[in-house]
Structure 1
């Protein structure tokens, strides 16, 4: 069991006092907060969290001693009988399907800000000029392959002639494989992970024939929070963003404020911080990231200043009810969409059961995002 700093220890203690023992144990084991009443199926791997233990500190910097950690773990285990702790373990990564003539190669980008690996899907269909590019940011504990399978985005890429990049978080940067959306150094343009991800985009643009007016970013959970940050900090690079079960840009500045933002929505946000068209998906029963965060992303995308809002209620083929709100400007152009998924938790809507953290019964978030992105791209080029 790895050492834990005092912030994480206090959070585990708070969860224990509230009787939320599975969450506390998950935090102790490095899996972060577990959704209330939403234990992940054992074949779906560990529950997604959006934070990780802080980097190892020097002796005397508030690290919890091994004896104290073991004592707390023992106390927690007393109340863990009957819980499926196997769901906190790893699983075999699914293998994405690759269409004839397509490629799904792995690369590693390095620059002054750091380095990250990424998978790149290039469709096999014949090329008619430069192609759009979509950057897909996985959630915690996920991998590019897992995320590709779960979202089904490669099949959509093949259908629409879309290049898709799947950056991978290094476990050395975050023990749970989370993007560090809550650390100030990784929230600013030209710094940390945002700079690395922007560098990956630039590298792909040099190597592939990319339509630079149609570069998009989307993500789930911690990846969604990072997608919001990229949209806010690099509006000249990204034409639109998709945020699924994520948080607004700058929602937290450390681990305690990250937990607070996840539970309550964090501090009020600044309108118009995200200056590119944005589509948001969030389940109203999400116990990992409160659905208020989806509302605040809409605010950041200028939703409160819309000239008109069109609201439609519906139900997916799988029986999941939803409310879709379309925000339009003075010219009648859609610049923001919000999908509230009734009864849904912390999972990619309409995804494949072969991947982790998906809700196959929900509306197809991948298809709706691609539709939104292409409509934005067509409007920009008109």
Structure 2
């Protein structure tokens, strides 16, 4: 098995495939040209345009897998949120010339695809559109922040980094969630211990770059057990936040554990110290 294929299989096992959390709404499979995405609509939405969260799967994942794993449907039912789950080509997203997989090598324009997804969702409030994702999907969330203008109100990368150039992004609210024991995208920016090296700055440095871009005040730092939150208020009502989970690896905090796969393949167990989905929505809805 090729090194990249091994990494993608590992990440798919790591993210897991649990049963859908939400069962009150409906899921529609939609197409844009030859690309696909899933749209979850709660059974009841408030009158008028609704907020939209775009959930970007990790490498080897899919829109269906992301829908079944990270708990966004259940949150959408509670909060009245539309959720889009796009599919990467060959289960990966292009975020640079080196990453990831065939889409990266072939120069697939995933930024244009995700922008088209946002425009295609009926009933979405253009002022309340948010993007989140894990690993390769979180890297695409950073590319959306770097390469789009006025499309997203905030992004929330998880276990990810920023790759490629980002010389003059629009100011945008960012909440980054990362475990300090991540071996695939290390917190300190060093080379990962998986088969594919993903280059990016140390996570605190990346956070500081967005603080500067957003013209933020000094952050408020709180520690709650293994969870450290550094949240800064910024110009024009924006915010920049970094949540560090001590001892956590390359996972979505709060997702279901898979002990068998973790033991067999030396995978990182998900942290139970934080519900990343609830944390991200609290951040998005307050920006």
TM-score class, shorter-chain normalisation, is 0.7 to 0.9
Q: Structure 2 stretches of 5 or more lacking a match?
A: 189-201, 262-267
The C-alpha deviation readout for 1:87-122, integer Å capped at 9, x for no partner, is 79xx8x54424433x111211212xxxx32111100
SS in 1 for 2:10: coil
Query: Residue 104 in 1 paired to residue 27 in 2?
Result: yes
**Residue 330 of structure 1: how far off its partner (Å):** 5.9
What TM-score do you get using the length of structure 2 for normalisation? 0.80
The C-alpha deviation readout for 1:206-244, integer Å capped at 9, x for no partner, is xx1111100010010000000010012113000100010
**Residue 274 of structure 1: how far off its partner (Å):** 5.5
* Residue 74 (structure 2) aligns with: 155
Superposition map of 1:67-216 within 5 A: 93-100=17-24, 102-110=25-33, 115-171=34-90, 177-183=91-97, 192-204=109-121, 208-216=122-130
Assess if the C-alpha contact under 8 Å between 2:177 and 2:243 holds in 1.
yes
2:7 aligned to which of 20, 26, 32: 32
Query: Residue 326 in 1 paired to residue 249 in 2?
Result: no
**Residue 342 of structure 1: how far off its partner (Å):** 0.3
Provide the C-alpha distance between the structure 1 equivalents of 2:137 and 2:65, rounded to a whole number of angstroms: 14
The C-alpha deviation readout for 1:4-27, integer Å capped at 9, x for no partner, is xxxxxxxxxxxxxxxxxxxxxxx1
* Residue 257 (structure 2) aligns with: 353
SS in 1 for 2:203: helix
Provide the C-alpha distance between the structure 2 equivalents of 1:197 and 1:179, rounded to a whole number of angstroms: 11
Assess if the C-alpha contact under 8 Å between 2:134 and 2:160 holds in 1.
yes
Provide the C-alpha distance between the structure 2 equivalents of 1:358 and 1:180, rounded to a whole number of angstroms: 27
**Residue 285 of structure 1: how far off its partner (Å):** 0.5
**Residue 180 of structure 1: how far off its partner (Å):** 1.7
Q: Structure 1 stretches of 5 or more lacking a match?
A: 3-26, 34-45, 50-86, 172-176, 252-268, 316-320, 377-382
Superposition map of 1:218-233 within 5 A: 218-233=132-147
Bigger relative CO (Cα 8 Å, ≥ 6 apart): 2
**Residue 193 of structure 1: how far off its partner (Å):** 1.1
Assess if the C-alpha contact under 8 Å between 1:308 and 1:327 holds in 2.
yes
Instruction: Describe the shift of the 1:311–1:192 C-alpha distance in structure 2 as closer, same or farther (beyond 3 A).
Output: same
Provide the C-alpha distance between the structure 2 equivalents of 1:367 and 1:345, rounded to a whole number of angstroms: 19
**Residue 352 of structure 1: how far off its partner (Å):** 2.9
Query: Residue 295 in 1 paired to residue 199 in 2?
Result: no
Provide the C-alpha distance between the structure 2 equivalents of 1:120 and 1:294, rounded to a whole number of angstroms: 31
Provide the C-alpha distance between the structure 1 equivalents of 2:170 and 2:250, rounded to a whole number of angstroms: 23
Provide the C-alpha distance between the structure 1 equivalents of 2:163 and 2:109, rounded to a whole number of angstroms: 15
Provide the C-alpha distance between the structure 2 equivalents of 1:213 and 1:308, rounded to a whole number of angstroms: 26
Question: How many residues are paired up?
Answer: 261
| Structure exhibiting the larger radius of gyration computed from Cα positions | 1
Provide the C-alpha distance between the structure 1 equivalents of 2:269 and 2:29, rounded to a whole number of angstroms: 24
**Residue 148 of structure 1: how far off its partner (Å):** 2.0
RMSD: 3.1
